[in-house]
Structure 1
Amino acid sequence: MTQRVDVVVVGGGQAGLAAGYHLRRQGLDFTVLDAALAPGGAWQHMWDSLHLFSPADHSSLPGRFMPVQPGETYPDAGHVVDYLADYEKRYDLPVQHGIRVDAVRRDGDRLLVEADSGTWRARAVVSATGTWSRPFVPAVSGCGVFAGRQLHTVDYRRAADFAGQRVIVVGGGNSGAQIAADLVLAGDVQVTWVTRRPPRFLADDIDGRALFDVATARRRALDTGRSDTGGVASLGDIVAVPPVRVARDAGLLTAKSMFSQLTSDGARWADGSRAGADAVIWCTGFRPALAHLAPLNLRGLRGHIATHGTRALSEPRLHLLGYGDWTGPASATLIGVGRPAREAARDVGGLLA
């Protein structure tokens, strides 16, 4: 059975919910299709010790402030899941969980959204699938030889799972630093932290509030033809959240350069030095989860789809939301996704009118 609707939002995480909020304000008939069985998006899969970079009042979706978590300046992932579940319920957003979208195709004056449990014919589509479901692991010599466990950020839960083990953590971003800190502070894990370049810590007083302001200022500069300010990347790569700061200041968080290859029992560097390992955790980032859009043939350099704001240049009925700065400044963050979601909903409303 094929259902007809004005707009289909693909993905029910923070970006999909923000889109739903603004689509409802536009008075549009829409549905949100989400592969997850429960609310909360990627936040329900984070590691136990993860906390936000920003206080609750700077981590909110449009229309509803995130409540303060008692005893915490920076809310943990569980608090975010509760907030998103409440947000979905409070605004009675039409999220259908447990539905995986396989393809979006052109079908005359409509877009055909094919899912594992049905088909929707929509006048517009907002893709908000994020990146969590598409972890990236670089091609490194010896990956197939290493006899221990290999995990990605998406697989990590807690330091206790590695008690008494030797662990190599690869990655110089926030995930790599936070997971390495989580492990070294446990006290019973031997950690080797590996980064491609020396770690760049942001100043200790910088958190998500400042980062959002910097990202927004960069986008405004680019939009008005001024020179690129460099944005967040000009400040550093790692936010010094409390556990990272503690581990760093105690001298427990020092990084080695990237190894040249994995061996059966660890890693080897170009100078011949070695480190034994029972596990390697790849904190090496993600790629946009856009496979469902492949039939539209829109992918360009680096797997991105060319956009003006959030609108796909080659398919004006499609908007992409929440994948990073290329779909709106700080749009992959809770506070940052609100503005591009509002602009996308307005654009869709104008198109359908």
Structure 2
Amino acid sequence: MTRHTDVVVVGGGQAGLAAGYHLRRQGLDFVVLDADPAPGGSWQYMWDSLRLFSPAEHSSLPGRLMPAQPGGTCPGAGHVVAYLSDYEKRYGLPVQHGTRVDAVRRDGGGLVTETDDGTWRARAVISTTGTWSRPFVPAVPGRGLFTGRQLHTVNYRCPADFAGPGDLPAGDRRSVIVVGGGNSGAQIAADLALDGNAEVTWVTRRPPRFLPDDIDGRALFDVATARRRALEQGDGDTGGVASLGDIVAVPPVRAARDAGRLSAKPMFARLTATGARWADGSHIRADAIVWCTGFRPALAHLAPLGLRGPRGHIATDGTRALGEPRLHLLGYGDWTGPASATLIGVGRPARDAARDIARLLGD
């Protein structure tokens, strides 16, 4: 069965909802196709202790402030899921959950989106599938030899998952290596270290760079905005958020760091059957390794368009694909709009994409 609409939005997380909000304001007919069976995007799969970098009012999508979380703390993942679910309902966005998009193809003057529930023919497509479904693990020597448990950020939930089933001698603890010098690595290492039921080794490729303790998501958004304005005006690149550091010192990270439980070791040279070995010959036994090593953009559905370039990215002007003006990409990172992978930052590029599509379809 083939259905028709002006715009197909692929992905129903925060970027897809922001796109839907602005498409509706442009008076366009559209559908949002989301593979997840329930609202909330990737937030419904985050680890239990995760907290946003900013208060709720500074973590909102266009048109609707996120309500404060009880207790006045920075919102947790569950609070964000509830907010996105309410946002979808409040604006009556036409999201079809449980619909997997397999491919987007050119067909005459439009684009055909093939799904596991039929085909959609549209005049434009906005892809907002993000990165969560494509976790990256580096090809470290010996990774296939390690006999312990290996998991990625996407699989981590809580320290209790590493508690022994009663088979450890009294006083012994599981040994866990956390790999990665970004926010997820620091937060998960802190989560495990503060819990105290595992012996944690935090490993990073370069010394960790903590942002000043008073920097939160509001300040990061301001820095990203200033960088965008400077580039638009032809001024020098300020470096943006990356110039400040890599890790936001959220309260658990600060607590673990200040208690001396968050000191990083340099990256090991290889894995062995029982742990990790460094270039100087030293070895640490490990029962598990948590790879907090990032993600790649989930763009397999766009492969038929032949647009992928270096590093797997698609070249864009703003959000518009240079090789296919009927396609926009939103929410994958700064290459699809400054701060577009954040709740507060996705609104502006979503608005720009909707306006660009409205002009295209009006010609």
The TM-score bracket by the shorter chain reads over 0.9
Match of 1:305 among 274, 299, 314: 314
Residue 108 of structure 2 aligns with which residue? 108
Match of 2:324 in 1: 315
What are the Cα deviations for residues 292-311 of structure 1, in whole angstroms up to 9, with x where unaligned? 00000001111111101100
Unmatched 5+ stretches in structure 2: 164-172
* Matched residue type, 2:298: A
Amino acid at match of 1:7: V
How many pairs are equivalent? 353
Give % identity. 80
Q: Is residue 166 from structure 1 mapped to residue 175 from structure 2 by the alignment?
A: yes
One-letter amino acid of the structure 1 residue matched with residue 330 of structure 2: L
**CA displacement, residues 140-179 of structure 1 (integer Å, 9 cap, x when unaligned):** 0001000001100000000111123110000000000000
Which amino acid is the alignment partner of residue 135 of structure 1? P
- Distance in 1, Cα, partners of 2:335 & 2:232: 12
> 1:4 aligns to what?
4
Cα distance in 1 for residues equivalent to 2:230 and 2:205: 30
Q: Over the residues paired in the alignment, what is the CA RMSD in angstroms?
A: 0.5
Distance 2:257 2:232 in 1: 38
SS in 2 for 1:212: helix
Partner residue in 2 for 1:30: 30
Question: Does 1:249 pair with 2:262?
Answer: no
- Distance across 2 between alignment mates of 1:80 and 1:9: 21
Determine the structure 2 residue equivalent to 1:39: 39
1:325 and 2:334 correspond: yes
| 1:186 matched residue in structure 2 | 195
1:78 aligns with 2:50: no
Structure 1 counterpart SS, 2:279: coil
What per-residue deviation string (whole Å, max 9, x for no partner) do you get for residues 210-263 of structure 1? 000101111111122111101000000000000000000000000000000000
Deviation at 1:72, TM superposition (A): 3.4
Which residue is 2:168 aligned to? none
C-alpha distance in 2, partners of 1:239/1:72? 19
Q: Secondary structure at the match of 1:119?
A: strand
Runs of 4+ aligned residues of structure 1 deviating over 6 Å after TM superposition are none
State the distance in 1 between where 2:238 and 2:310 align. 23
Q: 2:305 and 2:210 mapped to 1: Cα distance?
A: 40
How far residue 191 of structure 1 moved from its aligned partner, in angstroms, is 0.4
- In structure 2, which of residues 353, 356, 362 is the aligned counterpart of residue 347 of structure 1? 356
What secondary structure does 1:267 align onto? strand
The aligned counterpart of 2:249 is: 240
Q: Tell me how far 1:73 sits from its aligned partner.
A: 2.2
Question: CA–CA distance in 2 between the matches of 1:117 and 1:253?
Answer: 48
SS in 1 for 2:302: helix
Pairs within 5 Å for 1:12-27: 12-27=12-27
- 1:227 correspondence with 2:236: yes
Q: Secondary structure at the match of 2:104?
A: strand
Q: Distance in 2 between matches of 1:51 and 1:187?
A: 20
Q: Distance in 2 between matches of 1:155 and 1:188?
A: 19
